[in-house]
């Protein structure tokens, strides 16, 4: 199947998949429920993702099943691709492998034997990753020797407990986003514009958030900040990122960002609490636009990957907030999509 033909087939497939997304009224209905059992029942009766769930699932079990649902949907689409598009699809799928590695590192860092014994419950392939009760961060990293993760993780395996996970996870993110950009290098101009708007903007937002938190909470040096930045963003090239990293104070950094496309991160109260939500909301509506426009480019596919991720995140947010007995109006503030009164 040629490149154009495969994209046409994917766009047709995604058109059907888009129709299965929850509607605004579904999220309103779900947010009114007082128990997770009622939420699961509604999902089972009214949504496609609900077919994967059980009324007796814990919140954690439901989240794992929705993760598997998202992975399965992306794998189905991947079969239609070849060539450059297939490379991008494979790179996107590596997110799940990287998230598994992060989970394992977190458990090993905590040295909690009971969790190590329950890796199957965490939905991790323990045979593939060669882990058991005696595993340590060092032995786990050694088991990755023939992978692209080994070198970067080994560089930090002797760091202190308070920073080791931070350094490793930041570098895993760099590997992931670098692989996405590498996979798109031969794309057409039209496709690259979509990649820049979605993947590039996400990289920008991750970098801004990282620089802000690194300066405010860790008092890191400019050289340390720039070292963890991901290159290849939409609006923030290396020189602009470097300038941000060399801002002397948090206030001056914020003032600079307020003059950019990403001012929404800081131009409201409670900036720290809702920063990630604002970034996701920006990307959500960008993805919706590109999904509609992407008739003859990669936009419909990339938009779908973002929208599917945010659907799972929003359902998970409703389950979590219901579990903690948070009221309807407050629940809406935890969603990626925006409703009147939930502006952050």
Scanning the structure block, which residue is given the tokens 């405010």? 216
Please, are residues 284 and 307 in contact by the beta-carbon 8 Å criterion? yes
Residue-level pLDDT at 17 = 95
Please, are residues 265 and 283 in contact by the beta-carbon 8 Å criterion? no
Phi-psi region of 229 (alpha: psi -120 to 50; beta: other; left: phi over 0): beta
Whole-number Å distance between alpha carbons of 91 and 123: 20
Whole-number Å distance between alpha carbons of 67 and 74: 11
Residue 318 has pLDDT above 90, yes or no: yes
**H helical segments located in 137-200:** 137-142, 150-154, 164-183, 189-195
Structure tokens at 216: 């405010």
Residue 342 has pLDDT above 80, yes or no: no
Whole-number Å distance between alpha carbons of 235 and 12: 31
Whole-number Å distance between alpha carbons of 288 and 253: 30
Which has more pLDDT, 177 or 118?
177
Scanning the structure block, which residue is given the tokens 């005696």? 134
Whole-number Å distance between alpha carbons of 55 and 44: 8
Q: Encode pLDDT of 55-72 as tens digits.
A: 999 999 999 999 999 999
Q: What's the Cα-to-Cα distance from 315 to each of 40, 122, 276, 301, 311, rounded to whole Å?
A: 10, 19, 17, 21, 6
Whole-number Å distance between alpha carbons of 85 and 265: 32
Phi-psi region of 11 (alpha: psi -120 to 50; beta: other; left: phi over 0): alpha
Scanning the structure block, which residue is given the tokens 């636009």? 289
Hey, is 62 helix, strand or coil?
A: helix
Q: Encode pLDDT of 249-278 as tens digits.
A: 999 999 999 999 999 999 877 778 889 999
Residues belonging to the chain: 344
Whole-number Å distance between alpha carbons of 10 and 275: 33
Please, are residues 226 and 199 in contact by the beta-carbon 8 Å criterion? no
Q: Encode pLDDT of 103-112 as tens digits.
A: 999 988 887 5
Strands (DSSP E) contained in the chain are none
The single-letter DSSP state of residue 123 is: T
Scanning the structure block, which residue is given the tokens 């990669």? 298
Angle at 287 between CA 101 and CA 273, to 5 degrees: 65
The single-letter DSSP state of residue 213 is: H
Residue-level pLDDT at 264 = 95
Q: Nearest Cα to 210, choosing from 224, 197, 199?
A: 224
The single-letter DSSP state of residue 335 is: S
Residue-level pLDDT at 107 = 87
Mean pLDDT of 27-46: 98
Mean pLDDT of 169-182: 97
Q: What's the Cα-to-Cα distance from 100 to each of 45, 105, 106, 153, 214, rounded to whole Å?
A: 31, 9, 10, 14, 25
Residues 6+ apart with CB under 8 A from 128: none
Among 90-99, 137-146, 157-166, 262-271, whose mean pLDDT is lowest? Answer: 262-271
């Amino acid at each position: 199947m040629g490149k154009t033909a495969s994209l046409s087939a994917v766009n047709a497939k995604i058109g059907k998949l888009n129709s299965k997304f929850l509607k605004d009224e579904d999220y309103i209905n779900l947010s009114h429920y007082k128990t997770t059992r009622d939420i699961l029942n509604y999902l089972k009766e009214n949504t496609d993702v609900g077919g994967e769930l059980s009324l007796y699932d814990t919140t954690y079990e439901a989240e794992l099943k929705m993760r598997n649902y998202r992975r399965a949907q992306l794998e189905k689409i991947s079969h239609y691709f070849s060539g450059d598009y297939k490379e991008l699809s494979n790179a996107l799928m590596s997110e799940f492998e990287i998230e598994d590695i992060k989970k394992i590192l977190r458990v090993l860092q905590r040295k909690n034997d009971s969790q190590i014994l329950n890796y199957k419950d965490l939905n991790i392939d323990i045979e593939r990753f060669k882990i058991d009760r005696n595993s340590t961060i060092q032995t786990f990293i050694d088991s990755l020797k023939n992978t692209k993760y080994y070198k970067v993780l080994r560089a930090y395996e002797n760091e202190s407990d308070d920073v080791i996970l931070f350094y490793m996870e930041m570098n895993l993110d760099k590997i992931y986003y670098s692989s996405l950009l590498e996979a798109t290098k031969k794309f057409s101009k039209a496709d690259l514009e979509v990649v820049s708007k979605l993947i590039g903007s996400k990289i920008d937002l991750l970098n801004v958030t990282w620089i802000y938190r690194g300066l405010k909470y860790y008092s890191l040096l400019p050289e340390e900040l720039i070292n963890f930045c991901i290159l290849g963003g939409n609006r923030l090239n290396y020189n602009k990122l470097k300038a941000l990293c060399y801002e002397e104070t948090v206030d001056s950094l914020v003032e600079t960002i307020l003059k950019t496309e990403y001012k929404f991160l800081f131009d409201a109260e409670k900036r720290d609490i809702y920063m990630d939500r604002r970034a996701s909301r920006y990307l959500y509506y960008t993805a919706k636009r590109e999904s509609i426009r992407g008739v003859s480019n990669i936009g419909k596919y990339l938009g779908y990957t973002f929208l599917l991720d945010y659907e799972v995140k929003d359902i998970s947010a409703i389950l979590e907030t219901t579990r903690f007995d948070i009221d309807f109006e407050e629940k809406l503030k935890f969603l990626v999509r925006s409703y009147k009164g939930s502006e952050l």
